[in-house]
């Protein structure tokens, strides 16, 4: 058994797959860099209170926790890098204008988010702070789609939602916080009988609107139906307008766009548009994102924010990795300046050159050529 010494849903990454992941990581990070997103590297461990701020509040059960031997306080292993990046923006960078940040590193979950997923995702993503308009939502959505495109993903399907629709209904009907949580729970799993039972306590307009939400899933016609049948609250109309704008801007760059007005993923921290990318090669979403304007409040600065993240390990599994690149075998002649110069030249060109060690047993692993001295010159010949 390949991972017999490792915990369940935790595994080693061997050379071919590791190279595949690293190559894709570099491509995405280079793309984020040229779009102005600056790379940050938050720590693996932080105090639990910090990690559970904002988006982390839904991840308490997903967090591994340890006692800090220096302070005696509870520390956690990050489950999501978004609150860490928000802390960096709010507390360390403290920039008044727009800030664009990117990140790529492992996170750890106590249980996998799906049966086919690892407990140690490799999260890569981008966050934009300081702009509240739909234009910044569109920027990060386009950037996410570009990242997926350069990773070789085809048949992209984009799901869009907006938490302001449900939140607007709750506020407009003056529903209690306890009742809001109950409604949220049943809508999350789309438990229609339970939803009907809860809505029986509400006025007719609110009841009909909430019962309609699970049915508002599909193509652009969903927005028209919602506009006609949902209460004419300004916040809901603005949400529908924003979703329509996104559809108009992105319809030409994805294969399909769908709307789900009952999607409340991350409801307790998202404040606007939600989006998720899918492909026919995976049953799970391959990228997630949305607007979360309140996340920096606990760190002293409530800044507008929007961003996305990708599980890089999940992304790379959509494609079979190629063969590991073959190298060139070189003899051990450490004091031969001509040979050392040739080796250095080849490595600068990106070639793999493996120098055999004295007394080495067996051939060089994954070498199909070798450097040999012919007529006083070092030449590459096939093995």
Q: Report pLDDT digits (tens) over 96-113.
A: 899 999 999 999 999 988
Contacts for 260 with CB less than 8 Å, ≥ 6 apart:
159, 160, 161, 216, 217
Q: Are residues 5 and 132 in the same domain?
A: yes
**Per-residue pLDDT tens over the stretch 225-250:** 999 999 999 999 999 999 999 999 99
Q: Answer positive or negative: Cα dihedral of 200, 202, 204, 210.
A: negative
How confident is the model over 288-308, as a mean pLDDT?
85
Beta-sheet pairing, 122-129 with 305-311: antiparallel
Q: Are residues 310 and 359 in the same domain?
A: no
Q: Are residues 361 and 261 in the same domain?
A: no
pLDDT > 70 fraction of the chain, expressed in percent and rounded: 97
Reported confidence tier of residue 148, pLDDT bands at 50, 70, 90 = very high
Q: Are residues 123 and 176 in the same domain?
A: no
Please tell me the distance from the alpha carbon of residue 370 to that of residue 353, in angstroms, as a whole number. Answer: 9
Q: Which helix (H) or strand (E) is 372 found in, with range?
A: strand 367-374
Q: Are residues 51 and 173 in the same domain?
A: no
276 in any annotated domain:
no
> What is the per-residue pLDDT for 32?
98
123 in any annotated domain:
yes
How confident is the model over 351-366, as a mean pLDDT?
85
Q: Are residues 20 and 130 in the same domain?
A: yes
Counting other chains too, the contacts that 356-359 makes at CB distance below 8 Å and 24 or more residues apart are 356/329, 356/330, 356/331, 356/332, 357/332, 358/332
Q: Which two tokens stand for residue 37?
A: 């997103």
**pLDDT above 50 (res 268):** yes
Contacts for 181 with CB less than 8 Å, ≥ 6 apart:
none
What is the span of the domain harbouring residue 188? 158-266
Q: Are 126 and 102 spatial neighbours (Cβ–Cβ below 8 Å)? A: yes
**Per-residue pLDDT tens over the stretch 14-72:** 999 999 999 999 999 999 999 999 999 999 999 998 888 765 456 888 999 999 999 99
> What is the per-residue pLDDT for 374?
93
Q: Are residues 135 and 230 in the same domain?
A: no
Distances (CA, A) of 96 to 78, 129, 130, 149, 302: 27, 10, 7, 32, 12
How confident is the model over 88-93, as a mean pLDDT?
87
271 in any annotated domain:
no
| Residue entry with tokens 């600056």 | 38
Q: Are residues 22 and 139 in the same domain?
A: yes
Please tell me the distance from the alpha carbon of residue 212 to that of residue 125, in angstroms, as a whole number. Answer: 34
**pLDDT above 70 (res 323):** yes
> What is the per-residue pLDDT for 56?
47
Give the chain's domain count: 3
The string of DSSP letters for 355-368 reads: EPPTT--SPPTTEE
| Phi, psi (degrees; rounded to nearest 5) at 227 | -65, -35
Determine the longest span between alpha carbons in the chain, in angstroms: 95
> What is the per-residue pLDDT for 1?
52
DSSP state of 56: G
Contacts for 49 with CB less than 8 Å, ≥ 6 apart:
none
How confident is the model over 319-330, as a mean pLDDT?
91
272 in any annotated domain:
no
**pLDDT above 50 (res 254):** yes
pLDDT > 90 fraction of the chain, expressed in percent and rounded: 68
Give the CATH number of the domain where residue 222 resides. Answer: 3.30.930.10
- Neighbouring C-beta atoms of residue 109, cutoff 10 Å: 20
**pLDDT above 50 (res 318):** yes
197 in any annotated domain:
yes
Q: Are residues 143 and 36 in the same domain?
A: yes
> What is the per-residue pLDDT for 2?
56
275 in any annotated domain:
no
Q: Are residues 342 and 195 in the same domain?
A: no
Q: Are 83 and 127 spatial neighbours (Cβ–Cβ below 8 Å)? A: no
> What is the per-residue pLDDT for 61?
87
What integer best gives the mean pLDDT of the chain?
Answer: 91
Q: Are residues 202 and 255 in the same domain?
A: yes
Counting other chains too, the contacts that 62-65 makes at CB distance below 8 Å and 24 or more residues apart are 62/109, 62/110, 62/111, 63/110, 64/108, 64/110
Q: Which helix (H) or strand (E) is 221 found in, with range?
A: helix 221-229
273 in any annotated domain:
no
How confident is the model over 184-213, as a mean pLDDT?
90
1 in any annotated domain:
yes
Least confident interval from 67-76, 138-147, 192-201, 341-350? 192-201
> What is the per-residue pLDDT for 58?
63
Q: Are residues 204 and 342 in the same domain?
A: no
DSSP state of 299: G
């Amino acid at each position: 058994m390949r991972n017999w010494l490792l915990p369940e849903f935790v595994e080693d990454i061997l050379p071919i797959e590791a190279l595949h992941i690293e190559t894709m990581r570099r491509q995405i990070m280079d793309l984020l860099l040229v779009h102005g997103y600056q790379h940050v590297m938050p720590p693996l461990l932080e105090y639990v209170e910090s990690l559970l701020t904002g988006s982390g509040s839904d991840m308490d059960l997903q967090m591994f926790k340890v006692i800090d031997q220096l302070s005696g306080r509870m520390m956690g292993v990050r489950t999501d890098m978004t609150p860490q990046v928000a802390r960096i923006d709010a507390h360390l960078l403290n920039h008044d204008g727009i800030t664009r940040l990117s990140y790529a590193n492992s996170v750890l979950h106590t249980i996998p988010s799906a049966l086919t997923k690892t407990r140690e995702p490799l999260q890569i993503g981008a966050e934009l702070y300081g702009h509240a308009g739909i234009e910044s939502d569109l920027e990060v959505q386009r950037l996410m789609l570009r990242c997926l495109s350069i990773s070789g993903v085809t048949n992209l399907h984009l799901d869009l939602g907006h938490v302001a629709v449900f939140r607007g209904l709750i506020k407009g009907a003056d529903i209690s916080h306890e009742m809001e949580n109950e409604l949220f729970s049943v809508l999350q799993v789309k438990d229609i009988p339970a939803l009907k039972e809860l809505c029986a306590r509400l006025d007719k307009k609110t009841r009909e609107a909430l019962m309609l939400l699970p049915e508002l899933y599909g193509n652009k016609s969903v927005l028209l139906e919602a506009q006609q049948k949902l209460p004419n609250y300004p916040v809901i109309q603005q949400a529908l307008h924003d979703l329509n704008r996104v559809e108009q801007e992105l319809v030409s760059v994805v294969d399909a766009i769908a709307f789900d007005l009952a999607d409340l993923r991350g409801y307790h921290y998202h404040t606007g548009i939600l989006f998720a990318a899918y492909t026919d090669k995976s049953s799970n979403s391959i990228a997630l994102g949305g607007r979360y304007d309140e996340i920096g409040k606990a760190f002293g600065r409530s800044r507008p924010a929007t961003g996305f993240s990708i599980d890089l390990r999940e992304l790379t599994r959509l494609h079979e990795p190629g063969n590991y690149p073959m190298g060139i075998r070189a003899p051990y002649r450490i004091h031969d300046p001509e040979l050392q110069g040739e080796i250095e030249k080849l490595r600068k060109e990106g070639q793999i050159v493996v120098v055999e060690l004295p007394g080495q047993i067996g051939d060089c692993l994954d070498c199909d050529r070798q450097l040999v001295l012919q007529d006083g010159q070092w030449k590459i010949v096939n093995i």
